Structure 1
Amino acid sequence: MEYNKGLSPEDKIIGTDQTVADFWKWGFSNLLTNSLRGIYAEFLVGVAIEALNGSRVEWDAFDIDYNGIKIEVKSSAYIQAWYNGNHSKISFGIAEKKEYDYATNKYSAIAQRHAQVYVFCLLKEKDRDRINPLDTRQWEFYVVATKDLNHFYPQQKSIVLSSLQKIAKPIRYDELKFEMDRVIDNL
């Protein structure tokens, strides 16, 4: 088996009595950590729009290819893994970035927003005792064409929730595919 072609939970870790599932449980179970929540949000969006193609590519210029449309997924939450009793202020990164080319091992000369559509995913639950990232009812989503971000917020590196709500309405998980298709139809 080639390790970069995707693993299965039952794959054995050679030289141990552990499996890949054991590793995943140990290293990737706390969905309240910022980096893992972001990857999980990408997964949720990919499942909702039926666009999970192979394994996730780290450091790609966008997160999901949806029938040739490049999608960037961002996440935020009021409660973090390190929750100290105060809710986090909601913001999402939207900075322009240089694209990394795996073939040449170099970055592009120009920074820009490479996706055509952004999906902002908010884990909105504010009760530490009730929060469950696996419950899609605790999430809300905002789908925004990049052209709108470029028009309204061309130089911003991040966007706060109140600014986002001026250009998009929150939707439920089960509405995500419909809204994605609607936004794409208007590109």
Structure 2
Amino acid sequence: MSELGPVDRLRRSGEERFHQGGAALDFNLRSFWQWSASDLVSNTLRGLLAEYIVAQALGVANDGIREEWAPYDLRTPEGIAVEVKSAAYIQSWHQERLSTISFLCPKTRAWDPQTGFYEDEARRQARVYVFALLAHEEQATLNPLDLDQWEFYVVPTVVLDARKRSQHSITLPSLKALPLHGVPVGFEGIAEAVARAAGEEARD
């Protein structure tokens, strides 16, 4: 059997129907999305939602589709590689108290889907990190689709690499203590903050 290259990825509408024996069935792809992706507070879906929100802010969400195995999450029209990490005070499960906020940001070995091999060196693959915090603290009114409930901390990778503390994660207090990058921006400020952070990274 010859080697298989990457499968072509198509952007779908949601209207595509399941079928069997050449006949369309009475459920479609949108119904699968509704079934599998409606809990926006869950860790997995919240992370994807945060990535989508940032992609919208950067103007890269409306063409193509998300790359599951890319070494970083997003690339801006200017070519800036961006990694998005998310956290929230409120979870889907029962909580005794609000969650303590910490973002994982470890160095990784990039995997190339064209070759199937990992890079030898572990490093942060993106030039800029966006730490997306669903900052709302009232469960009854929590709504991840309300962008006023989010905060976004935009940090150049060189700043993370230079930290003397943990290289695996960063807490919210540590984020807030970063000079120049400890003040969050709203949705409308993400694109400018990413461009500014990438410029700082280039100067260093």
TM-score computed with the length of structure 1 as normaliser? 0.94
Q: Which whole-Å deviations, capped at 9, do the CAs of 1:68-87 have from their partners, x for residues lacking one?
A: 11100000000111142421
Q: Alignment partner of 1:178: what SS?
A: helix
Report the aligned-residue RMSD.
1.6
Q: Which whole-Å deviations, capped at 9, do the CAs of 1:63-120 have from their partners, x for residues lacking one?
A: 0011211100000000111142421110101110010011111111111101000000
Structure 2 residue aligned with 1:78, among 89, 101, 122? 89
Q: Does 1:100 align with 2:111?
A: yes
| Cα distance in 1 for residues equivalent to 2:121 and 2:53 | 30
Q: How many residues align?
A: 186
| Cα distance in 1 for residues equivalent to 2:9 and 2:199 | 35
Counterpart of 1:125 in structure 2: which amino acid? H
Alpha carbons of structure 1 residues 20 and 153: separation in structure 2 relative to 1, 3 Å: farther
| Cα distance in 2 for residues equivalent to 1:183 and 1:102 | 28
Range with greater deviation from structure 2 (93-102 or 163-172): 163-172
| Cα distance in 1 for residues equivalent to 2:88 and 2:19 | 37
Counterpart of 2:16 in structure 1: which amino acid? D
- Percent of aligned pairs with the same amino acid: 37
Residue in structure 2 matched with residue 110 of structure 1 by the alignment: 121
For structure 2, list consecutive stretches of 5 or more residues without a partner in the other structure: 1-6
Q: Alignment partner of 1:148: what SS?
A: helix
Deviation at 1:153, TM superposition (A): 4.7
Q: Does 1:172 align with 2:166?
A: no
Larger Rg: 2
Contact 2:132/2:152 (8 A) holds in 1: yes
Write out the 4+ residue segments of structure 1 that deviate beyond 6 Å after TM superposition: none
Structure 2 residue aligned with 1:9, among 3, 14, 27? 14
Q: Does 1:182 align with 2:196?
A: yes
Deviation at 1:44, TM superposition (A): 0.2
For structure 1, list consecutive stretches of 5 or more residues without a partner in the other structure: none
Contact 2:81/2:128 (8 A) holds in 1: yes
TM-score computed with the length of structure 2 as normaliser? 0.86
Contact 2:54/2:190 (8 A) holds in 1: yes
Range with greater deviation from structure 2 (80-89 or 109-118): 80-89
